[in-house]
Structure 1
Amino acid sequence: MTTANSTDTVKTIAIYGATGITGGSLLTELNRRGITPILVGRNADRMHAAAAAVGLPAAEVRVADLGEHDALVAAFTGADAVISSLPAYVDHGEAVLAAAIDAGAHYTDLSGEQLFLKRVFDDYAARAVRAGVTAVPGITNSNLPGDLLGYLTSRRLTGPVEITMSLVGTKEGNGSKGSAQTVLAGLDWFRSGGWHFQDGGLQTGGTARRGEMTFPGATEPTIVSKFPQPPVLTIPRHSDVSYVEGVLETAFHSQLSGLSAEIVESLPNEPTPGLSYDFVVDAFGADGRAVRGVVSGPDSYVDSALMAVEAAVRLADGAAEAGVLTAAEAFDAEGFLDALAPFGITWTIDER
């Protein structure tokens, strides 16, 4: 594992997708850090408006469509790192990734789809190595905590370790239309529960090995079902594990049964503010001991943007090795989590 610490050195960071809800949070955090980003996208007027709305009227705007590879490469040229903020990465994500690599820029994104992450690791690792850049996909309020906590908890136990993880909301509310579009694009995969890791590889089918979890602050267990959490793919890359599964409250799965394009279109663009959450990783050692890691945060959407900016700044420092890496492979796990404390994002690991 290589260590990359964020520094005060001003870097050039480009954002594709800055006009959306998460894009606004990315711009706000970059502005707070004194970084004036390059905004890349299809609509110059909307990008200028997004930059001005967060106090960045001088931000450079470069127009490039997802279908224009050469234009995207030109737009990302000169950037130290690129942040991709899109809905439905499984449909749209590769264009920005490929262009960032070909432009010689480090890359991160806020993808939450197992299928996209596997494609990135399988198809783009060698390309990133040849270009001398680092790509760390899947930086969200669930993926990043899941990967880093998986790394840390597994090292407190005798391996091989079994891991079950889940995101649980601690405030009721609605997600964004973009999140619903992501789920709709991979609806069958989400309904199926996706991959779990077992016997040295990714497996589909079956049910959750642990069908209930008692979440932080609860006195009774919650029934959970298998869910395609991306850290299922990333944790086995760096940790001694025999089994890794993602789960989610079973009640959520019932909401997927009737999801349609019409329903998604009717949803509000913006999520409910302040969707606080816990991301829980339960790890079970071969010797019978168990530990629980929890990352807690005040706002799922804002926190994902904060994590992505922290990742981009660290990548721009250039200390991570070239290739496609997990968060725990690219960054110091404890150092990264500690850096989120000023935003009210906390983490703990306790023996159970």
Structure 2
Amino acid sequence: MTNTEKNSNPVIAVYGASGHTGGYALRELQRRGLTPILVGRNEARLRAAAAAAGLPDAEIRLADLDDPAALTAAFAEVDVVISTLPAYVTFGEPVLAAAIAAGAHYTDTSGEQLFLKRAFDEYGPRAEAAGVTVLGGITNSNLPGDLLGHLAARQVSAPAEIVMSLVTRGEGGGSRGSAETVLAGLDWFRAGGWHYEDGELRTGPIDRHTLMTFPSDAEPTAVAKFQQPPVLTIPRHTEVSFVAGVVEAEMLSQLSGFTPDVLDSLPEPGTDLRYELVLDASGADGTAVRGVLTGPDAYRDTAIMAVEAAARLAAGGLTPGALAPAEAFDPAEFLNSLAVHGITWRIDAAVRSGGQ
């Protein structure tokens, strides 16, 4: 059977399974009746992660990130690799390269523009040549941002202008892995990364969207440019003049004092990790709509989305190469499939932001 044929009993490998998001991915695979292969360097931690997810008989394969041959061998006869590492700009490429070399489809939970651009530019052609599909950046903000961007832009006059923000609604904090990710690309995060404007990716400040009135809020919130991977993916499938990610300005200001020392003091994420992904699309004729996705747990939902993407990759039929979510899946159908997990979405009339 080739990786482009339908597979009703997929073999899925997880690299990074002992992490916070990786554990959720294992539990979701177990819920679906799938027993994944756990790949990593620490057998004891991997066995503990498998047991905690109710998968005591899961196969363990050992491979270090600095051993390409071992990684490729670990992914042999695997249909899909799910990578749930932190800091993909530092650690992500070996797993991606090995998956392609082994002839496996690939998805991950990265949230870094710089890594996703490498996945498209450097690894997309390799994946196409190998006949496999790469879907990077499947997180609770990236995937819905891309899918909602596709849907919302088609309800306004083209080319659309899009701005999006992930809004924290719960009291729980971020994971150690998230902190490692920020630290690995700290200067990029502080500077806001790329936005898309008039046909190209640009760095530097943006001159609009300095305020957003979020759902249920009476007053607008000051926001600042923030690196968001859908800035790279939405223009691949949608006619747009501008795409940017923003975040609450107060939250971004906290990165000014962010140092490696913070890792040692980070507790585990709390249980209240509710969030909203808010995306506003406006057209040149003044039409405007707002897409909102709401979920109960940022890390759990990221894992669920990654596993859903992996199951669809394993089913076959996707174009080889690196794809954006909306290039791979029907946007509304994929978003609707998440409702069983308490993840909901809608598109309605937009609230005009004060920074237009």
Q: TM-score range by the shorter chain?
A: over 0.9
Matched, 1:342 2:340: yes
For 2:18, the equivalent position in structure 1 comes to 19
Question: Counterpart of 1:80?
Answer: 79
Task: Compute the displacement of 1:52 (Å).
Answer: 1.1
Give distance in 2, aligned partners of 1:84 and 1:208.
Answer: 36
Task: Identify which of 274, 279, 282 aligns with 2:280.
Answer: 282
* 1:246 maps to 2:242: no
Supply the distance in 1 between the matched residues of 2:303 and 2:207 (Cα, whole angstroms): 30
Structure 1 runs not aligned, ≥5 long: none
Q: Output the amino acid matched with 1:145.
A: P
State the match for 2:265 in structure 1: 266
Give the corresponding residue for 1:89.
88
CA deviations over 1:308-340 (Å, ceiling 9, x no partner) = 000000001112100000111011111110110
Name the counterpart of 2:151.
152
User: In 2, are the aligned partners of 1:208 and 1:247 still within 8 Å (CA)?
Assistant: no
CA distance in 2: counterparts of 1:51 and 1:182, whole angstroms: 24
Deviations 1:182-224, CA, capped at 9 Å, x for gaps? 0011110011011000010000102351111110111110010
Distance 2:184 2:86 in 1: 9
Matching of residue 210 in structure 1 with residue 209 in structure 2: yes
Query: Once the 2 structures are TM-superposed, how far is the Cα of residue 53 of structure 1 from its aligned partner?
Result: 1.3
**Cα deviation per residue 1:70-97 (whole Å; 9 max; x = unaligned)?**
1111101111100001110000100000
Letter in 2 for 1:264: L
The one-letter code sitting in structure 1 at the alignment partner of 2:155 is R
- Aligned-residue offset at 1:58: 0.9
| 1:154 maps to amino acid | A
Structure-2 separation of matches of 1:178 and 1:9: 33
Q: Amino acid of the residue matched to residue 194 of structure 2?
A: W
Write the distance in 2 (CA, Å) between the matches of 1:254 and 1:241.
Answer: 29
| Structure 1 residues 160-171: aligned runs within 5 Å | 160-171=159-170
Aligned partner letter, 1:350: D
**Contact 2:7–2:316 (CA under 8 A) maintained in structure 1:** no
In structure 2, distance between residues paired with 1:319 and 1:351 = 35
CA distance in 1, matches of 2:207, 2:88: 26
Work out the CA distance in 1 between the residues paired with 2:179 and 2:47: 26
Give the structure-1-normalised TM-score: 0.96
Per-residue deviation at 1:9?
A: 2.5
**Structure 2 Cα separation of the partners of residues 122 and 30 of structure 1:** 30
- 1:214 and 1:9 map into 2 onto residues whose CA distance is 45
Q: Alignment partner for residue 313 of structure 1, among 306, 311, 314?
A: 311
Per the alignment, do residues 171 and 208 of structure 1 end up closer, same or farther by CA in structure 2, a change over 3 Å counting?
farther
Corresponding residue for 2:40?
A: 41
Q: What's the % identity of the aligned pairs? A: 63
Whether contact under 8 Å (1:14, 1:81) holds in the other structure is: yes
CA distance in 2, matches of 1:142, 1:135: 18
SS in 2 for 1:292: strand
1:10-36 Cα offsets, whole Å, 9 max, x none, are 311000000111111000000000000
How far does residue 280 in structure 1 lie from its aligned partner after superposition? 0.5
* Alignment RMSD (CA, Å): 1.2
Post-superposition offset of 1:8:
9.4
Query: Post-superposition shift, 1:120?
Result: 0.8
Show the counterpart of 2:58.
Answer: 59
TM (norm. structure 2) is 0.95
- Deviation track 1:84-142 (CA, whole Å, cap 9, x = no partner) reads 01110000100000000010100000000011111111101110001000000000000
Number of aligned pairs?
346
Q: CA deviation at 1:264?
A: 2.1
Give 1:194's aligned residue.
193
